[in-house]
Structure 1
């Protein structure tokens, strides 16, 4: 289990849980445990862009820390 901050570009992950600041985005993401999250890109500032449920989300490093994932 790792945080989204430690994810690699182009790799798909299962979301294990979201806590802290990430609790606030569960509804927006339509979060379900059986869906797969793919890391699209990471930039030098630490922002992470993910593809999830046919939508894209950009997350700051602070928010990404609170999303725990495991590689598919």
Structure 2
């Protein structure tokens, strides 16, 4: 079963990216299985997308699995 990495957020934007990125990096352990559910987020800008892409890259480099659930209408606001 995968672990939720940042379940306490309503979104990621420029104002919060510097806070969220280190949390994601620290939270991803080698060989882990994680997910981020963005389907209920109320906001996400391009910095938020970059933060999610960075987390995906970190997971891959560490041999972990990270799934991101996206809303049907997209994320960027």
Q: What's the TM-score once normalised by structure 1's chain length? A: 0.29
Larger radius of gyration: 2
- Structure with the larger strand share: 1
Structure showing the higher helix proportion among its residues: 2
Larger relative contact order, structure 1 or 2 (CA cutoff 8 Å, min sep 6): 1
